[in-house]
Structure 1
């Protein structure tokens, strides 16, 4: 499928905007989100809807979503059968934003301030297909997360073909053509914003300062962030496999002279180097090469297995609000 960038209308004002919000144990904070989103969007010239995706929450999040959708038809809900992760929650919300001219993804904890939405819309009206955001600072980020974030973006920019600026976020606006292109991606191990950045399109950035969470605890633990980083890196880069080959060559380049020196010393200079020493040095280096290779290959084989099995990306257990039949 191809898309003509020049076929879009000269003015985008007056269209429909879908807000996609992944929700995981955010029940009490959804009221504040509702108030903030409503105040911001009603001041714009657009029709809008807010799709709340409950990613297997264990609190009253779904009950609150049902309450919000019953009180205001612009709020809709999708409930997953279990926790599939934020990347799939974003994917489901975007795929269910049928008939929208643009989709805006944001978090439920108000660390993606809805007050920034008019700026996203203004850039979109200028002709940008993707309007992403860069987080300048976070009020409650721990030192470990800050250091991990810097390391992640350094590796991604250094060893992948993604244009991924440091501290970029999932808080972004996607034009309809971007949404349609995204729907063609079927991979199960995905980094949502990585796929979007991989597409290209006409893109710009807006900076913002993230406030502290309105309430509750972050859904992403250090372990989940680490797992996401590993999946993202191996999804967009073959560098680890190349490094394994380079490591093997480096070890061979070091091993051969060392073994040669041991042989010369033993035969010509009377050094008493035992056969066990030869075997130990050589065998240790071989084991290191094999373990590195197996470790890297297992990551990629795991991705291949996930794609070959071809399970659904997510399962919607229930819906709240009024949905079109096409949704």
Structure 2
């Protein structure tokens, strides 16, 4: 049976990296003897010349397919577009896909190693980043806090320092395409399926070839909220527990007030205590309403059943 590898590359404002990445991939892939491959570039609504450069490359290489998103839908949906394209166009042959970014922090040499391991029988190949030359202490602390919150509150454990740079065999592609939720986080979705058969390759992420990272604190915050709510109802359970705890503490406070005022006959106004307790529980109420609102909001989006993205598939017709 014919084997084929689809390399799905998400790109957002990466005009300075496209040619470097393409040349590097060509060098690495030419050294591997396998049947066929296709470079699937997902242009995620870039505002620079990323699409123009991709169209130039496509004129000289019919192995390039461009998925041009109508706007910037985000990294997760860019990968979803590539995943859906492969799943919809290739269901008969033996194939795999590789997810990678266009900023050269996912080394093309490692992509070639993934393909070699796949040809040797590995079905799920993950990467583990042991060092990132492009991040400082601030980013690492944010990352540590993000994964701590995620794994404390989520029912699905998501390994740390394992980026979306990975290879999935055909069966994993079909399983992933069967997950229809709107809020998507590929690392969590794959953990939901199971990582028991995963083969792990370690690597050091070099500095970006050009440009700067698109992630900041707000992006990580939104990703953390989406990740927790997508894979867990623990926040709702915590809210319920805190509600019971609040009722219990209120009862104790009432009993203490009765004892001080009517048994010990101590004159106490209790104004500041009442104010602080009232403020505390009012804040908890607002917090828990916010948590419930997050879940209801996602239900609202899901039931609309809107398309996750809009794009056009551009192929070399020559």
When normalised by structure 1's length, the TM-score is: 0.89
**Contact kept? 1:55, 1:79, Cα under 8 Å:** yes
Name the residue aligned to 2:12.
Answer: 24
Matched, 1:88 2:77: yes
Distance 1:92 1:290, change over 3 A: same
Matched, 1:64 2:53: yes
Deviations 1:170-208 (A, max 9, x none): 000000111111112221111022112211162221111
How far did residue 320 of structure 1 move?
Answer: 2.7
Query: Which residues of structure 2 form unaligned runs of 5+?
Result: none
How far did residue 83 of structure 1 move?
Answer: 0.8
Name the residue aligned to 2:102.
Answer: 108
RMSD of equivalent CA atoms: 2.0
Name the residue aligned to 1:5.
Answer: none
How far did residue 126 of structure 1 move?
Answer: 4.2
Matched, 1:292 2:287: yes
**Contact kept? 1:65, 1:320, Cα under 8 Å:** no
Name the residue aligned to 1:41.
Answer: 29
Task: Specify which of 146, 159, 163 is matched with residue 165 of structure 1.
Answer: 159
How far apart in 2 are the matches of 1:243 and 1:22? Answer: 37
Name the residue aligned to 1:6.
Answer: none
How far did residue 112 of structure 1 move?
Answer: 0.5
How far apart in 2 are the matches of 1:121 and 1:78? Answer: 23
How far apart in 2 are the matches of 1:233 and 1:322? Answer: 41
How far apart in 1 are the matches of 2:276 and 2:219? Answer: 38
When normalised by structure 2's length, the TM-score is: 0.91
How far apart in 2 are the matches of 1:104 and 1:276? Answer: 63
How far did residue 155 of structure 1 move?
Answer: 2.9
Matched, 1:73 2:67: no
Name the residue aligned to 1:181.
Answer: 175
How far did residue 275 of structure 1 move?
Answer: 7.2
SS in 2 for 1:305: helix
Task: Specify which of 114, 123, 136 is matched with residue 117 of structure 2.
Answer: 123
How far did residue 43 of structure 1 move?
Answer: 1.2
Matched, 1:213 2:208: yes
Task: Specify which of 299, 308, 314 is matched with residue 309 of structure 2.
Answer: 314
How far did residue 286 of structure 1 move?
Answer: 3.5
SS in 1 for 2:163: strand
Q: How many residue pairs get matched? A: 310
How far apart in 1 are the matches of 2:286 and 2:292? Answer: 10
SS in 2 for 1:53: strand
How far apart in 2 are the matches of 1:184 and 1:290? Answer: 37
**Contact kept? 1:259, 1:278, Cα under 8 Å:** no
SS in 2 for 1:205: strand
How far apart in 1 are the matches of 2:283 and 2:169? Answer: 48
How far apart in 1 are the matches of 2:274 and 2:43? Answer: 58
How far apart in 2 are the matches of 1:136 and 1:93? Answer: 27
SS in 1 for 2:10: strand
How far apart in 1 are the matches of 2:245 and 2:100? Answer: 46
How far apart in 1 are the matches of 2:153 and 2:199? Answer: 22
How far apart in 2 are the matches of 1:275 and 1:210? Answer: 59
